[in-house]
Amino acid sequence: MKPLTLTLSAFGSYGSTQTVDFERVGHGVFLITGDTGAGKTTIFDAVSFALFGETSGQKREPSMMRSQYAPEDEETYVALSFLEHGEIYEVRRSPTYLRMSKRKNKSGEYTGVQVPAKASLFLPDGSEYPGNLRDINLKIQEIIGVDQNQFSQIAMIAQGDYLKLLHASSKERKEIFSRIFNTGIFSRIQLKLKEKNNLYFGKLEDNRKLCFHELSHMEFLEDSSHRSAWQELLEFKETKTDDIRNMLNLALNEVQEKAENLREQQETLGTMFLETKSQLSLAEEVNRLFDGLHGAKNRLEQLEEEEALWNEKREQLKKAGLAEKLGEVARQLTEKIREQEETFSRTEKLKKELDYLSQTLIVAEKALEEEKKTSEKELPRLQNDLSRLNEAMPLYTRWKEETKAFKEIKTLERDLEAKLSEIYLDITNRKNRIVLHEDRQKGLEEKAEHLSIWIQENKEKEERQKGLELLKKSLSLFKIQQAHMEQSQEKTMLARKNYREADHIYNERYDQFLAHQAGILADNLMEGDPCPVCGSSSHPLKASLSPDAVTQEMVERAKVDRIQTETLLSQATEESIKAAESCKHQKEQMQMEIETWFQASLSLDQLKGCMDEEIDKGQEQLTQIRKQVNEAKEAEKILKELIDNIKTDRKMLEELEPAREEARISLQDNQLKAFAFIEKIKQLEERLPYPDEKTAEEEKVTLRNQIERQTTLLENMNARFRRISEEEREKKGRYASEMENLESRSKASKQASIDFHEGLKTMGFESEEAYLQAKQPLELMEKWERDIEGYEKEVLRFRTIYNQYIDQTKGRERIDQLPWTQKAKELSEKQKELQKEEGKASGILSRMMQSYETLNRLWKEKEELEEEYRLYHDLFQTANGKLSVSLDFQTYVQRQYFNQMIQAANKRLNDMTGGQFLLKCRELDSLGKQGEVGLDLDVYSMVAGKVRDVKTLSGGESFMAALSMALGMSDIIQSTAGNVSMDALFIDEGFGSLDEDSRMKSVRILKELAGERRLIGIISHVTELKEQIGKKLLVEKSERGSKIRWDLDRFSSET
């Protein structure tokens, strides 16, 4: 990406439209120079904002970029055209900002209007890319290949940010590299391996718990010989799996043998039990035969005692049979007598009925004659009345139709009256409401007019409150920093004192050591050896060694102490300087904030006294303003509703007036129609025979009923007379027939009596009473026959049974069952005990085998899980830095990128510093064990051959190192991003910390980096750079905003 032109309109310190034509420079290094606050950094902000919607350092919100110098009608925007892979793109972007409205409100004042953020992207073919802000941002990232964070690392070194590149912690670099190089996938791999490690660890734990559960619940025989050995093995259940398996096999065999032994005992007892049961069954059978013999004998004796009673029953049955034979003759006599009596009764009844019918016929004939006379008189009159009523019925229909129409007209009249009344009421209400709303509108407009002013005032107060809160925190932090500075100064004084003492001791011992060198040489000189001083082999007078002489070891130890105290002094001094600079910077920053928020210069002591009071006062004011803003917003909302309501009411009044007139005319027409219907209804009512149709219909029904009743009565009387006459003739015939039948029945009855008395003599009955005593019901006779037959069969059966039992018990005696019963009971109880023991042993065996199978399965699973766990655990330990080197997978990958960046940075740093020092990634064996490490940066001194922390670099050295790191990072990011081509670099300040030689080298390297393609812009106040760099972009400050112009001095030292 290479910028071509940049246009700023009402943006930052630029009140009017200013354009930077980078094509005039083309390539190379150019200087952006101007007064403080003129807007030099704003140019970088504008480039970043155009591309990503954010400023370069992200310290200012885009909504704050509206220029204070801009006219109200001037639009705030930034337009950037840039070259990417040989094609030109243009982006135009506006931030959210507040401007005054172009039109006045109803009160004649201008109000604040919120302008929303917007962006447009024009493609190389001139078309505009469609989409919202998010779509455009993503498209720009796609075009240039980097996001805002990567762009700020590659193309922009913001003011004060260069030290971040050097002094960032390993954790901070890890976060930056994760975004730049997309190494998050390695972190996810670490997390996935951790999840897998925990998963298999959890499965192993579950497996272990299940194994422990099975082992702890293993059941042995109560008298098992392996119980104590098993308890000892359970203490080593995780390590002695094979021993446990062998012990389980032994225990299983023991239980199986016990169960088999118990089954054999059961079989033996079963055989004995069957033999005993056989003997018991034999005894029971013999005793049952003797019991049967005794029972049969008793029953036979009982039947023989009943013999006399059954003989008497046989005699009674015989007499009853003779009586039954005569019974038919007796029944015929009874039947003949009954028939004679019934015939006599019927003749008497018919005679009485004939007498009654004769009298009834005379009365019926007389009534019929009278009814005929009445009908001839009444029927013609009733039929005439009914005919006249039928002719009048259509009048009732007309009357109903006219009445219905009249009611409809009256209903319509009421509706019209109600409608007219409703219109009158609506008109009145709306007129009254318009008057009330117009009165209320005036008051609301006054409140709503101040809304924009109060919103702006609220915003300013909120900013001031935030600033005061931050200032309060800064004051507390300053106290801590001040205390730290004092502690650092005291520590430095102590370190200086310790160094002076160590230095004094070292110098003293070194001088003493030199003074005693002769004694040391003589002490080691042997007779015959040449003297290293004079060369003589004879040493008659050797120098003596003082007993308190200083040895070389003592000198070296003193030297080490001095170096250590010197290092401590250097560190304490550096820490003290940093603390003092930090306090100074913090105090200057606070003074700027004090002037900003208090509009006066206050000391820190004065600030302490008024800070809380000022914050409370500001909070009260902010609360009051917010209340006014809310009231004004509510007033604005209600005002809008009132205006809409007034418009609606006025429009409705215009529509209601014609509706009211139309309703009045319709009501008058309807009233005239009602009067006409009243006259018609009166005329019809005068012609009606009855007041209403219902009464007329009832009268018709009455007349029809009377005619029908008269006709029916006459017909019924005629029919009754004929029926009585017919019935009289029929009964006379029946009476004559019954009299003949009575005579015949009397003769038959006499003959039956003669036949019955002759039968009594033939059957041997002395009298009719003897016959009646012998006579029995047929059912009873049949029962006697069955009972007698049953008795005879019972006697025969028991006589046969008795004889059989006599034969079966011949030669036998009763057997005592008790011994065999007791023995069977004892065997049964022993058998139950054995079954219980065998069942218990079988249960233990079944559960042991099930547990054994479960354990084998769990042990097999454990082997598989341990293999998987070892695999993932090793990977997890390695990827998450849990081994000897505390370096996780993501950091390891980032470290490769970091080394590449350092290698690229050192190529430039070597030239800038003349080979004095190089950057170096801290060695693995030097990494700490606490916190996140692996991306720490050190400095290797080429002169001293030592490694030290990068934070020990001076200000100028830090800038050169940071610039080299930024360039190196740019190289690596572009090479890893593939199609990323960043042909622009912007550097904000930092050159003031360099000496002339370093500055010359740095600019030379930047020019070499720019070559014939790249464009590098530098913001700096350093005067020498103006002479060294010929291409300058001048930013000039004025009362109406800053202006931009190029100064292309081709005859500077650049040439």
Would you list the domain boundaries of the chain? 1-155+982-1055
List all residues 6 or more positions away from 914 whose beta carbon is below 8 Å from its beta carbon.
Answer: 997, 1001
List all residues 6 or more positions away from 139 whose beta carbon is below 8 Å from its beta carbon.
Answer: 121, 129, 131
Neighbouring C-beta atoms of residue 53, cutoff 10 Å = 18
Phi and psi at residue 933, to the nearest 5°: -130, 175
pTM (two decimals): 0.41
Instruction: State residue 327's pLDDT score.
Output: 72
Q: For residues 593 and 607, what is the distance between their CA atoms, to the nearest angstrom?
A: 11
Instruction: State residue 1053's pLDDT score.
Output: 41
Q: For residues 137 and 129, what is the distance between their CA atoms, to the nearest angstrom?
A: 11
Instruction: State residue 524's pLDDT score.
Output: 62
Q: Under DSSP, is residue 163 helix (H, G, I), strand (E, B) or coil?
A: helix
Sign of the dihedral defined by the CA atoms of residues 167, 171, 173, 179, in that order: negative
Strand partners, 2: 83
End-to-end distance of the chain based on CA atoms, in angstroms?
27
CB 273 within 8 A of CB 831: yes
Task: Map tokens 């007078």 to a residue.
Answer: 541
Instruction: State residue 88's pLDDT score.
Output: 94
Count of residues making up the chain: 1055
Task: Map tokens 């060198």 to a residue.
Answer: 517
Single-letter code of the amino acid located at 1040 = R
Q: For residues 48 and 58, what is the distance between their CA atoms, to the nearest angstrom?
A: 9
Q: What is the CA radius of gyration of the chain?
A: 68
User: Which tokens is 783 given?
Assistant: 């029962």
Task: Map tokens 């009365």 to a residue.
Answer: 363
Helix axes 778-808, 307-449, angle to 10 degrees: 100
Helix axes 604-687, 552-598, angle to 10 degrees: 50
Instruction: State residue 842's pLDDT score.
Output: 77
Which ranges constitute the DSSP H helices of 764-879? 768-774, 778-808, 818-879
66: left (phi over 0), alpha (psi -120 to 50) or beta: beta
Instruction: State residue 533's pLDDT score.
Output: 46
Query: String of b and e for 924-934 (b: at least 16 CB within 10 Å)?
Result: eeebeeeebbb
Q: For residues 460 and 618, what is the distance between their CA atoms, to the nearest angstrom?
A: 11
User: Which tokens is 370 given?
Assistant: 């009278």
* Burial class of residue 51, CB neighbours in 10 A (0-12, 13-18, 19+): buried
The Cα angle at residue 163 between residues 159 and 166, in degrees rounded to 5: 145
CB 42 within 8 A of CB 6: no
| Helix (H) or strand (E) segment spanning residue 256 | helix 241-305
1033: left (phi over 0), alpha (psi -120 to 50) or beta: beta
CB 38 within 8 A of CB 12: no
The Cα angle at residue 498 between residues 496 and 500, in degrees rounded to 5: 70
Q: For residues 378 and 376, what is the distance between their CA atoms, to the nearest angstrom?
A: 6
Q: Is beta strand 14-21 parallel, antiparallel or unpaired with respect to 118-122? A: unpaired
Class in CATH terms, 1-155+982-1055 = alpha beta
Neighbouring C-beta atoms of residue 737, cutoff 10 Å = 12
Q: Mean pLDDT per segment of 10 residues, for the chain of length 1055 residues? A: 92 90 89 86 90 72 72 88 92 84 68 80 93 90 81 70 71 75 77 84 82 75 73 70 79 80 82 81 80 83 82 80 74 78 82 81 80 78 78 77 81 82 82 77 66 72 78 80 84 84 80 63 62 54 61 81 82 77 76 71 67 77 80 76 81 79 79 77 74 76 80 82 82 80 79 75 75 78 84 84 82 79 82 78 79 83 85 78 70 86 87 85 70 80 84 81 81 69 78 75 80 85 80 87 83 39
Strand partners, 730: none
Sign of the dihedral defined by the CA atoms of residues 637, 642, 643, 647, in that order: positive
Query: String of b and e for 976-1000 (b: at least 16 CB within 10 Å)?
Result: ebeebbbbbbbbbbbbebbeeebbe
CB 562 within 8 A of CB 503: yes
Query: String of b and e for 772-785 (b: at least 16 CB within 10 Å)?
Result: eebbbeeeebeebe
